[in-house]
Structure 1
Amino acid sequence: MKKRISIMTIVVGVLAASFASSPAPAHADIVWDHWQQAESLVARGNKAEAVSHWQFLANHYASIGDWENTALFYGKLDSYFDAIGDYDQAIHYYELENEYWLKAGRDWGAVKLQRADQIRTTVELYRQERDQSTIRELALPSSGKLAKFEPAYGTYLGIYSEQDPKVGNMFTKTEAVYGKKHAIYLAYAHWGQSFPAMYAKRAKDADGALQIAWEPDDGLDPVEDGAYLRKWAQEAKAAGIPIFLRFAGEMNGAWVKWHGNPAQYIAKFRMLHDVFAAEAPNVAMVWSPGDVPANDIDPYYPGDAYVDWVGVSLYIEPYENGDPSLPSMLATSNVERLTRLYNTYSDRKPLMLSETGVPHYQHAAGEDFTEWAKLNLQRLYEIMPYKYPRLKAITYFNVNQGMNNAKNDYSLSSSSDIQNYYSKLIANPYLLSKVSDSAQPVDRVGYVPVDADHQSFTKKTKFVPFIKIPEVYIGKVEYILNGRLTATQTELPYGLELRAGEVPEGSVLQIRVLNKSGKQVSLRTFGVSSQVSVDIDGKDQVFEQAPAIVNGSTLTPLRAIFEAMGATVEYEAATRTVNAKKGGTTVRLTLDQKTVYVNGKAMQLEEPARLVNGYTLAPARFVGETFGGKVAWDGSSRTVTIATK
């Protein structure tokens, strides 16, 4: 609050100075008249009529290069439109205000951008994907090379449990309490203390890895290469488990003693990297700032050669700084808080949420926020891993701060409702329970955004929407498929499963969102489609060219299926003829002709074979039965099954 007052004081001073300057511009009287009229209207409680005057003044000051006053009047406009609930206009002016503060060399618009994100309506859609090349491509860095301990896709499940009364530091209890093993356990260590061998052993007993937050409480000066560090590194190696070493995290925040000297920080981090590279190859170096203040993150980056993973401490809470007397932060989403860091580093490094939490109770206010916590827990464990496929680990800060006379209850087990909901969310195989190089979910299922490149699916798929509205709490979500209301949800977690037979090519899925008052706040349209799939002896086939339905006939890739059934295939380009053979059976067909020959005997196809993107497609029943297979069609999943045994 003090910062805001000081900003406004400075800005008003700038404004006054602009009118007191001499000589005055020729139209100074007009400008002054608009300014006085706006002030008079506001004083009479008529802000709506002041809008045109503020717009005039903002445009005027922008035209003469007075960026401070331009930002000031855009600030009046964004506050007005926010107050009356015209959020699109408010966002427009918040962004303009920030733009002109930046032109003025100020970062004062950052808080306004945060507010713009809070009131921005977002409806995005993600779906399951089984094609391995598609999933892996989205989850890879541009170099194509995975980092140390990085999964091919999926997100490691991590937890800090020492203050959880149901788990403590007995990590083997985690599965019994939450229904699933966790991949990473978090422990804190301090420079000068010995390696936390007990925590490493208990992580090993739980078949897990250890994240160590190593904090130089006396600052960076004592951090030197010597006997203490070498012994610590050797004991880390002897632990025999993967270790994610998060040295001096949140270095961009003035609340830690190792803040303030980026050059020194970088030198110490690089030195540690070199020591552990030599002494403990089972240690991955994690560089982990806080997500705020954002403008002080990049100067501390040690460089790609010294960082294995980029982490971040990212928390959301109902009130700013946990203080109920400060503005509500309920509209803040954890999803957008990661965007800047992700866009900056994910192309080079895997990301982890080194610490994160969502409180369900606020001690200072004595308020329960269970519904809000559930909303953001779903975003944390479903939306963020799908939206950010390079987010490869999430470590939850499982602490009830009320036990320390603090502000928020992040604990998962202090509320049975939250504990059960968390267990339900993490049951998803995409959240990984074991750290290993190139790990992947046991069901081999990933997630992709529903966009122009990822509309089609096979068999069945789960759709998961990310929905955020200015009113925070969602009243109802309706799913409308090809004009028909298919499903309605009023409770978390949101999501919809559809079978391929329900979604023909060129389908349209609409998501209608209503707030708690029953008012529609968004209607978003997505193109969706399904493809025919082929199973041979129970194994799902993956084709370079997908099957297609033409004139009511299902056409499938001929060569791929024939070869999967053990036949040899040759193509004569000059005559556009395909010859295939298996045992004593021969097949000869010509593209775009219905007549085919099996063992020299002519027969007619319901639809001729044809070339599609360089691949020969032919009717599924003919392709499957020619060499003795039994063919069946499942319309609900649009699946051709071929049994050869």
Structure 2
Amino acid sequence: MKMNKRIGILSLAVGIMTAGIVQSPAPARADIVWDHWTQAEALQAAGNSKAAVPHWQYLTNYYASTGDWENAALFSGKLDAYFDALGDYDQAIYYYEQENKYWVNAGKDWGAVKLQRADQIRTTVELYREENNESIVQQLSDPKGAQLAKFEPAYGTYLGVYSEQDPKVGNIFTKMASEYGKKHAIYLAYAHWGQSFPATYAKRAKEAGGALQIAWEPDDGLDPVADGAYLRNWAREAKVAGIPIFLRFAGEMNGAWVKWHGNPAQYIAKFRMLHDVFAAEAPNVAMVWSPGDVPANDIDPYYPGDAYVDWVGVSLYIEPYENGDPSLPSMLATSNVERLTRLYNTYASRKPLMLSETGVPHYSHSADEDYTEWAKLNLQRLYEIMPYKYPRLKAITYFNVDQGMASAKNDYSLSTSSEIQSYYKQLIANPYLLSEVKDASKPADHIGYVPIDAEHQAFTKGTRIIPFIKIPEVYIGKVEYLLNGRVIASQTSLPYGLDLKAGDVPEGSVLQLRIMNKAGQQVALRTFGISSQVSVDINGAVQKFEQAPVIVNGSTFTPLRAIFEAMGAKVDYEAATRTVTATKGTTTVKLTLDQTTVYVNGKATQLEEPARLVNGYTLAPARFVGETFGGIVNWNGTSRTVTITTK
């Protein structure tokens, strides 16, 4: 039929990437489809894309219902482009994701760039807060049902750096502390298959009290990589170095720009062979499997297997322009945070992750443009948001280089800008960013970070809140905090954080963030539940309870057994009579749940509120619990803290 031929030709015209002529609809339906198609084309040509939208929606749904995924994807592309240009980002994201789904159904990866654009225009508002309860922090940071990997910290993130091209440091790693205010845990060096072990770099890392990450690259491909005298000697020298070594063999193997790309089976065999050699010769070496974050679809086929990988790494960079080329689309709206999501979700339950190489340029040589504000925004995300959002991200190695050669694109250097250097020093001062590699290490202040979500709303004493905010306009004008409907803070500079005291946050509070862009327009309003809990200090030591204290009828109830035992008393419970007996020295206390009469050495005394069972734990009024065995009890309303001082 002539109609069939016309529809087939138009399918090719609209779907220029399709593999061939698609099967046309049944004749009775063809006229309807053709009408929608021609009307949409005419309206778009006349500059009336708004009126074309219903036709594109019809065509998208029609082709999806018939399994013609390529045409469904192409008409979804019309819709996502329209809504993106209109600034209706929620609708644009919907159609970008739908277009990608249709391309996947068609067996093609052409939707990847559309997902990238969806992430660029997606508004994200997340909150993270300090948490001083190690058990809560480690529940998020620990591997599920497995031991920590070699050199993995219990929680916290190792600081790493490639400094050889930094004029202030070079490969004298001891200078990092004086130039940047803190020594780093890992120093990066590059080595090439066939060359000797980089002993000088290992020596200097040892002098700086650090570990070494070695990017070992087989420049002639994988064929020469074999077990033999060269490899065995190299491994033995690694052992002699006497420091932790993270060996990143043939990284970015998923990218066609390296000579070891293209044969996953060969790559896996070589990686496994190296693992076995170093396990035998150099137990101080941790094997790091490290793809690039793109192309994502080529990552998993190269994975050598859990038994052969100690750490999963990734090379992850962002830049103002795609491939550093100002003639290509702007990448300013791309966040480094989301770039890690896929790899993290795939591997973090099995292995710790590291950013083997990462960088944020503050200057584009190719465009001759300064991006200091953008760089600071993304450095803050790199060092404050990513370790909190991804608690098993256990190392970050910064690529501290100004690409100042003739073909230069970007300046990632920390020292060529005094503002960037100062800001980096400020960021890495956080104890959560670790300066020494050792098994099960922790931040010196034992403070971690958790998301403010349904399971982590409550805090004790006080907390620091750090938001992750990403808006399509990129730059944030102002962040307002509202607590229970009242504005309590307004922030206009990074990190847009907030300090809260427990006494200001009753149980069941509502915290809202109102986000404005640089033009002063509200672009987001997000709501979070938040609460504070009563804390108890005994002789200056913060007590950790499985059941937190609660306030009932204005009285503070604290866990009876835990506090009595912390004060040196012996506690027994008789289930039949629901009676608690506690003894310390010559003092014996007996009380029965839900009764106000308490006996101290046989003498009755009355409580204003009786002891009671809460979630299986006996709680009693705090002052009674603290004073029963001679303690002095005080209450700090600002931090909502009961302090007990024993005599």
**Same-fold call, TM > 0.5?**
yes
Greater Cα shift, 541-550 or 33-42: 33-42
Distance 1:643 1:24 in 2: 86
Which residue is 2:364 aligned to? 362
Q: 2:79 aligns with which of 77, 80, 84?
A: 77
Secondary structure, in 3 states, of the residue corresponding to 2:130? strand
2:275 to 258, 273, 276: 273
Question: Equivalent of 2:15, from 11, 15, 20?
Answer: 11
| Partner in structure 2 of residue 130 of structure 1 | 132
Indicate the residue corresponding to 1:56 in structure 2. 58
1:286-314 alpha-carbon deviations (Å, 9 max, x no partner): 00000000000011111111000000000
Gaps of 5+ in 1: 1-6
Match of 1:601 in 2: 603
After the TM superposition, which residues 191-230 of structure 1 pair with which residues of structure 2 at under 5 Å, given as runs?
191-230=193-232
SS of 1:544's equivalent in the other structure is coil
**Whole-Å separation in 2 of the counterparts to 1:22 and 1:561:** 77
- Does 2:135 align with 1:116? no
**Aligned partners of 1:143 and 1:348 also within 8 Å:** no
Label 1:13 to 1:461 Cα distance change in 2 as closer, same or farther (>3 A).
closer
Query: Which residue does 1:4 correspond to in 2?
Result: none
Amino acid in structure 1 at the alignment position of 2:445:
D
- The match for 1:450 is 452
Contact preservation (8 Å) 2:515, 2:525: yes
In structure 2, what is the Cα distance between the partners aligned to 1:268 and 1:370? 42
| Deviation, structure 1 residue 36 | 1.3
Instruction: Work out the CA distance in 1 between the residues paired with 2:257 and 2:20.
Output: 36
Secondary structure of the 1:79 match is: helix
Structure 2 residue runs of 5 or longer lacking an equivalent are: 1-10
Displacement after TM superposition at 1:478 (Å): 0.7
State the alpha-carbon separation in 2 of the partners of residues 25 and 608 from structure 1: 81
Distance in 2 of aligned mates of 1:548 and 1:601: 28
After TM superposition, the structure 1 stretch with the greater mean CA deviation from structure 2, 329-338 or 400-409, is: 400-409
Give the one of 581, 584, 588 matched to 1:582: 584
- The 8 Å contact of residues 58 and 71 in structure 1, kept in 2 or not, is answered as yes
**Aligned equivalents of 1:16, 1:83: Cα separation in 2:** 30
Instruction: State how far apart, in whole Å, the 1-side matches of 2:19 and 2:402 are.
Output: 47
Which letter maps to 1:205? Answer: E
The aligned counterpart of 1:32 is 34
Q: TM-score, normalised by structure 1?
A: 0.97
CA distance in 1, matches of 2:31, 2:211: 70
Residue number among 490, 494, 497 corresponding to 1:495 in the alignment? 497
Is 2:638 aligned against 1:610?
Answer: no
Aligned residue number for residue 556 of structure 1: 558
Determine which of 66, 69, 92 is the counterpart of 1:67. 69
Distance 1:211 1:15, change over 3 A: closer
Q: CA deviation at 1:15?
A: 11
Report the Cα distance in structure 1 between the residues aligned to 2:48 and 2:342, rounded to whole angstroms.
39
> In the aligned structure 2, how far is the partner of 1:9 from the partner of 1:223?
48
Q: 1:590 to 1:23 in 2, by over 3 A?
A: closer
Counterpart of 2:8 in structure 1 is none
Letter in 2 for 1:158: G
Q: Which amino acid aligns with 1:124?
A: E
Q: Structure 1 residue 75: deviation in Å?
A: 0.4
Match of 2:319 among 317, 320, 325: 317
Which AA in structure 2 matches 1:72? L
Alpha-carbon shift at residue 444 of structure 1 (Å): 0.7
- Equivalent residue in structure 1 for 2:539, among 537, 540, 543: 537
**Equivalents in 2 of 1:230, 1:404: separation in Å?**
39
Match of 2:44 among 32, 42, 52: 42
- Whole-angstrom distance in 1 between the partners of 2:309 and 2:65: 46
Name the aligned partner's letter for residue 501 of structure 1: G
Distance apart, 1:16 and its partner CA: 9.7
User: In 2 relative to 1, CA 10–289 (structure 1 residues): closer, same or farther, beyond 3 Å?
Assistant: farther
Summarize deviations over 1:598-634 as a string: whole Å, max 9, x none. Answer: 1222221121111112211111111111111111110
Identity %: 80
Q: Aligned to 2:15, what secondary structure does the other structure show?
A: helix
- The CA deviation string for residues 444-500 of structure 1, in whole angstroms up to 9 with x for no partner, is 111111111111110111111111111111111111111111111111122111011
Matches within 5 A, 1:622-633: 622-633=624-635
Q: How does 1:385-534 map to 2 (within 5 A)?
A: 385-403=387-405, 405-534=407-536
Distance 1:602 1:410, change over 3 A: same
Greater shift in the superposed pair: 512-521 or 311-320: 512-521
1:291 corresponds to 2:282? no
Which residue of 1 is the match for residue 189 of structure 2? 187
How do 1:155-170 and structure 2 match up within 5 A?
155-170=157-172
* SS of the residue 1:26 aligns to: helix
**Structure 1 stretches (4+) deviating beyond 3 angstroms?**
7-10, 12-18, 21-24
Please name the residue that 2:646 is paired with: 644
* 3-state DSSP of counterpart to 1:556: strand
Q: How many residues align?
A: 637
Give me the whole-angstrom Cα distance separating, in 1, the residues matched to 2:387 and 2:608. 46
- 1:510 counterpart letter in structure 2: Q
Partner residue, 2:305: 303
* Cα distance, 1:294–1:22 mapped onto 2, change above 3 Å: closer
Aligned partner of residue 157 in structure 1, secondary structure: strand
The CA RMSD measured in Å over matched residues stands at 1.5
The answer for the alignment partner of 1:353 in structure 2 is 355
For residues 73 and 261 of structure 1, what CA distance do their matches in structure 2 show? 36
With normalisation by structure 2, the TM-score equals 0.97
Amino acid at match of 1:328: S
Whether the aligned pair in 2 keeps the contact of 1:553 and 1:619 (CA below 8 Å) is yes
The alpha-carbon distance between structure 1 residues 578 and 217, as it changes in their structure 2 partners (threshold 3 A), is same
- Return the offset for 1:65: 1.9
Cα deviations by residue, 1:336-377 (Å, 9 ceiling, x for unpaired): 100110011111000000000000000010111111111111
Structure 2 vs 1, CA of residues 404 and 459 (structure 1 numbering), >3 Å: closer, same or farther? farther
Task: Note the alpha carbon deviations across 1:54-78, whole angstroms, 9 max, x for none.
Answer: 1111122122221111111110000
SS at match of 2:154: coil
SS in 2 for 1:153: coil
The answer to whether the 8 Å contact 1:15/1:69 transfers is: no
C-alpha displacement of 1:402: 2.0
> What is the CA distance between 1:104 and its match in structure 2?
1.2
Distance in 2, Cα, partners of 1:599 & 1:28: 95
Q: Match for residue 5 of structure 2? A: none
Give the superposition deviation at 1:143: 2.5
For residue 593 of structure 1, give the secondary structure of its aligned residue in structure 2: coil
**DSSP-derived class of the 1:171 partner:** coil
CA deviation after TM superposition for structure 1 residue 521, in Å: 0.8
Instruction: Give the drift of 1:33.
Output: 1.7
Task: Specify which of 92, 95, 98 is matched with residue 97 of structure 2.
Answer: 95
1:327 to 322, 326, 329: 329
Q: Which residue of 2 aligns with 1:239?
A: 241
Contact 1:589 1:597 in 2 (8 A): yes
Aligned residue number for residue 151 of structure 2: 149
What letter corresponds to residue 580 of structure 2 in structure 1?
V
Aligned residue number for residue 262 of structure 1: 264
User: Which amino acid in 2 is paired with 1:544?
Assistant: E
Give the deviation of 1:14 after TM superposition. 5.2
CA contact (8 A) 1:316 1:358 kept: yes
Q: How far apart in 2 are the matches of 1:14 and 1:178?
A: 53
